[in-house]
Chains A and B, each alone.
Chain A
């Protein structure tokens, strides 16, 4: 069982191939190829019908609009995925750095407070329970 996206991909590839063949027929047209051209035109309509049928199966697929910009500029859309992954990783590292810094700050703070205000801090720890 193929996935809806694979079906759509196959249909689009067949459609493109059909159009390419029409281009070849038309680019140096011979009168005897009129019937073949007519068949190809009907096949094109059929191809559009098939793509239209598959529309409902891919309703849940969401594509980021930025990907379209990459494609419109003639760039590989996988570069968008790569950029996203790299950005996410960089942000993840930044946040982890911040969290680690806060953890260290908290530990140092508690240490220094326990030196300066030992009784208050023992009360604080008793209050917090888990400190």
Chain B
């Protein structure tokens, strides 16, 4: 039986075909526009539609959300965005934690109070926190009197900003500036501002004068002019 089958295959092989060694698949022209298919043999035989175009792959499936959409609006973060982008945030940590006492704007590494150090060297934990016994409290019996100077720094923070402002004013008035460039610049700015303010003030005065003159003229010419008191609107102006 097997031998007969092989013989049959040999009979229909391209070698024995009347068209010679040419493959019948290659010679056929696809004029109908139907899809071509490639049949793969071997361990995993499969039929792949190859089509009239090479390298034609399935287009990628559309993902729900891409960078083409406004992600800020998609996740409802517009409020946060406008909150942070609109106003100018103050740089210091103390402006975020205004109620916190002590100097908190200095770098944490300088006094070993950094949060990094808590992560890198976690404190000893796992023990129960128990109230202090009377014997333990004896250890906290203190001597009367003020603290040594080096431990008093924590009280000085809240007034700091105010002091700085005063210092600037002092320099502007004519005192010798300790650091040259920034303070002189700041002084120049304030001087300019003052000058501008004065200018504005003068301009306002002039405008008011003109208005008053106009009013007087009008009142003189108008028939209603009887020398009575000012109306509320006139009061306001």
Contact = CB atoms under 8 A, between A and B. Distances in A.
Say whether A and B bind each other: yes
Interface of A: 13, 16, 20, 23, 26-31, 34, 37-38, 41-42, 45-46, 48-49, 52, 65, 68-69, 71-79, 81-82, 85-86, 88-89, 91-92, 94-96, 98-100, 120, 123-124, 127-128
Given A29-B144, A29-B145, A78-B96, A42 B131 contact: yes
Contacts of B119: 65, 68
B25 to A, nearest CB: 20
Contacts of B9: none
10 contacts: A27-B151, A42-B131, A48-B129, A68-B115, A75-B92, A76-B91, A82-B89, A85-B84, A91-B67, A120-B52
Nearest to B113: A72
B14 interface: no
Nearest to B81: A85
Chief secondary structure at chain A's binding surface: helix
Interface in B138-190: 140-147, 151-152, 154-155
Given A76-B93, A89-B72, A92-B67, A127 B53 contact: yes
Contacts of A41: 132, 137, 140
A72 B119 CA distance: 12
Interface string B83-118: 011000111110110011100111111000011100
* Number of chain B interface residues as a range: 35 or more
B72 A28 contact: no
B93 A28 contact: no
A45 B107 contact: no
B154 A23 contact: yes
Contact of A85 (B52, B77, B151): B77
A52 B126 CA distance: 10
Contacts, number: 129
B213 to A, nearest CB: 52
Contacts of B91: 75-76, 79
A92 B152 contact: no
B66 interface: yes
Interface in B59-92: 59, 66-72, 77, 80-81, 84-85, 89-92
A78 B72 contact: no
Nearest to B100: A16
Given A37-B142, A72-B116, 11 more contacts: A20-B101, A34-B142, A52-B129, A72-B108, A75-B91, A76-B92, A79-B89, A85-B81, A94-B67, A96-B67, A120-B53
